Amino acid sequence: MQTVSVNLGPRSYSIQIIAHETLGWLTFLKSALGHTRKLFFVSDTHTTTLMQKLRDLSLGAYECNHAIIPAGESSKSMAQFSFLLDELAEFGADRQTGVVAVGGGVIGDLAGFAAAAYNRGLPFIQVPTTLLAMVDSSVGGKVGINHPKGKNLIGAFHQPKAVWIDIGSLVTLPEREYLSGLAEVVKYGVIQDPQFFEFLEQNTAKILKRDAAILRQIVARCCRLKADVVEKDEREETGLRMILNYGHTFAHAFETVSGYGHWLHGEAVAAGMVYASRLAEKKDLIPASITERQIKLLSEFRLPVKAESGWKIPDLIEVMKRDKKAQAGRLRFILPVKLGEVRALDDVTEQQVAEVLAP
């Protein structure tokens, strides 16, 4: 078992990373939840089996109930949020009741938001089952749902009491979802850790085979790197947390212009990082070789490294100007200054963006 500690004073918690074991589950729950007697599990229709396994293991020690949500981003909705609150009330949940989210980022964000809101906050346990959720969404305490006017527009900060990551659950994850999660993994190397980037370069074959030992190391390193950022900027106030948005200004534009779901988020981030890196070259921050290494690694992970030809550059730029990272319509980008270090720049011109996007 590997443990990553997230140090946030009274909201500190630990992330347990295991592979194909369930032995420590009850001990894990007890140490995370103390006197809790009731557990409310939430899964989606693709993670029900994983959820039921953990629920069955818990039955001897806890009164358990569960809700199953339709799989997909559209479940991060007011309707599903409201459904979970109804189910919690029906279950007679009180402030001691633990909410356990078993699923990808959608279930973590939705169940976490219900846990944050019900009774002014219930103890929350994350059991991420996608690579993206393991390395990104389950760490950091952001929970929420979408509004027709914007993604993640309604939400809260609600740190989990603990996170349980079983690498074994990745076995059933569809290939495209898995590869998409690898884009965020590559991101951590570029923004924070050049040795980790090299480690990825040297282990692509094992990574593509989902080798459990390698994945355990990778997930642990990514959780540590994200925790380092979150510990210094828990509520996104100092600006440090922004470095996690490397590649995301372009990604957001690709996702919006092509319609959400055309590309998976990680696919958009992969191409987005390449364009951000090209911008850094244009501003003489880095040599072209740093972009080339990212292109090579992302391509080995079968991720897109350029925008689709039909997307119009003015449309993409228009979205970027509306991005929440833009300040008063001024474009803001997180750009590498070397491998393992990025900086926020807001003196990038539309002309420069158009130039890197030009085919």
Contacts to ligand NAD by CB under 6 A: 44, 46-47, 71, 73, 76, 103-107, 109, 129-130, 132-133, 136-137, 140, 142, 152, 169, 172-173, 177
Q: Which residues of 192-207 are buried (b: 16+ CB within 10 A; e: fewer)?
A: bbeebbebbeebeeeb
From residue 298, alpha-carbon distances to 131, 323, 355 in Å are 16, 25, 22
Q: Which is nearer to ligand NAD, 186 or 348 (CB)?
A: 186
CA dist., res. 278 & res. 348, Å (int)? 12
The catalytic position among 55, 76, 142, 161 is: 142
Q: Sign of the C-alpha dihedral, residues 49, 55, 58, 61? A: negative
Buried b (16+ CB within 10 A) or exposed e, 64-88: bbbbbbebeeebbbeebbebbbebb
* Catalytic residue from among 63, 87, 198, 236: 236
248 tagged catalytic: yes
Nearer to ligand NAD, 36 or 245 (CB): 245
Q: Is 318 a catalytic residue?
A: no
- Report how far apart, in Å, the C-alpha atoms of 228 and of each of 5, 57, 127, 231 are: 10, 33, 20, 5
Shortest gap between Cβ of 140 and ligand NAD (angstroms)? 5
Q: Is 37 an annotated catalytic residue? A: no
135 labelled as ligand-binding? no
Instruction: Give the residue with the Cβ less far from ligand NAD, 140 or 286.
Output: 140
Q: Which is nearer to ligand NAD, 168 or 194 (CB)?
A: 168
Output 44 or 193, the one with its CB closest to ligand NAD. 44
**Smallest distance from the beta carbon of 205 to ligand NAD, in angstroms?**
22
Active site residue 20: no
Cβ neighbourhood burial of 344 (10 Å; 0-12, 13-18, 19+): middle
Residue 282 annotated in ligand binding: no
| Residue 245 bears catalytic tag | yes
Q: Is 129 annotated as a binding residue?
A: yes
Pairwise CA distance, residues 344 & 327, whole Å: 12
- State yes or no: is 176 an active-site residue: no
Alpha-carbon distance of 272 to 270, in angstroms, equals 5
Q: Is 158 a catalytic residue?
A: no
Pick the catalytic residue from 76, 252, 293, 332.
252
241 is catalytic: yes
For the record, the structure tokens of 90 come out as: 């029906």
Of the residues 245, 267, 278, 332, only one is catalytic, namely: 245
Yes or no: say if 13 and 159 are a contact pair by the CB < 8 Å rule: yes
Among this protein's residues, is 312 annotated catalytic? no
Choose the catalytic residue: 66, 158, 221, 226: 226
Residue 151 labelled as part of a binding site: yes
Q: Is 184 known to sit in a ligand binding site? A: yes
* H helices, E strands: number in the chain: 14, 11
Annotated active-site residue 236? The verdict is yes
Look up residue 266 and give its two tokens: 């990680």
CB of 261 to ligand NAD, least distance (A): 10
**Of 73, 34, 35, residue with least CA distance to 263:** 73
- Which residues are documented as binding site for NAD(+)? 105-109, 129-130, 142, 151
- Residues carrying an active site annotation: 120, 142, 184, 226, 236, 241, 245, 248, 252, 265
**Known binding-site positions for Zn(2+):** 184, 248, 265
The annotated binding site is made up of 105-109, 129-130, 142, 151, 184, 248, 265
